Amino acid sequence: MAASASIRRATLDDVDALVALVESAYRGEASRAGWTTEADLLGGRRTDATDVRACLARPQSQILVAEDGGRLVACAHVCVEDAGGYFGLFAVTPGQQGGGLGSAILAAAERVVRDEWGLAVMRMTVIDVRDELIAYYQRRGYVRTGVHRPFPYGDERFGEPKRADLRFEVLEKRLAAG
């Protein structure tokens, strides 16, 4: 992680910067500067201000951000769902991917779930054709569960699919006592 970056909870003042960060990591040509791009799989939006505000307002939910020089450079949403933690809205600015910011945010999210909420498991859903991204999570202790969920085709809140074979797979990690 960048030496000057610090992790904190997001506030409503961060909404616009969060939307811009997430969009830059996943959509459009700018996202191709990093390895997390979904530009070949999905067009359209990845999130918007309404979605981010809903995450911030939801009980047992928070968005963590890494800030460097007053600029948001990474984020992740974590919440309680199905008696475990759920991790999503994960983004690192494309020019800083691979430098440890993502791992730091993921570890902070796991600490919230384990230490603040007392939960023993973290889950996430990943588009199952994203082999490199799944491998990233596996290196951090997540396992493929074999549980798949359909991609919400026709719901523009999740983007505009460029392929007909998209679906999500649930990944899971047991969190050791801190």
Q: Which CATH number covers residue 76? A: 3.40.630.30
Looking at the predicted structure, is the pLDDT value of residue 33 above 60? no
**Rounded distance between C-alpha atoms, residue 1 and residue 88, angstroms:** 19
- Give the global pTM: 0.89
The mean pLDDT of 121-143, rounded to a whole number, is 93
Average pLDDT of the chain is: 88
**Mind listing the pLDDT tens digit for each residue in 3-16?**
467 999 999 999 99
pLDDT for 96 equals 82
157 lies in a domain? yes
Q: Which residue has the tokens 């074979």?
A: 165
77 lies in a domain? yes
Which residues are within 8 A (CB) of 61 and not within 5 positions of it... i.e. 6 or more apart? 55, 77, 78, 79, 80
Number of domains present in the structure of the chain: 1
Judge residue 43's burial from the number of C-beta atoms within 10 Å of its C-beta, 0-12 exposed, 13-18 middle, 19 or more buried.
middle
Looking at the predicted structure, is the pLDDT value of residue 172 above 60? yes
Q: Position 130: which residue type?
A: R
Q: Read off the pLDDT band of 2 (50, 70, 90).
A: low
End-to-end CA distance of the chain: 21
Looking at the predicted structure, is the pLDDT value of residue 27 above 70? no
Looking at the predicted structure, is the pLDDT value of residue 44 above 70? no
Closest CA to 127 of 56, 40, 34, 29: 40
1 lies in a domain? no
- Domain carrying residue 127: 6-174
**Rounded distance between C-alpha atoms, residue 110 and residue 142, angstroms:** 12
Q: Which residue has the tokens 């992740």?
A: 76
Both tokens of 3, joined, read: 């030496």
Which residues are within 8 A (CB) of 12 and not within 5 positions of it... i.e. 6 or more apart? 53, 56
Both tokens of 150, joined, read: 């359909």
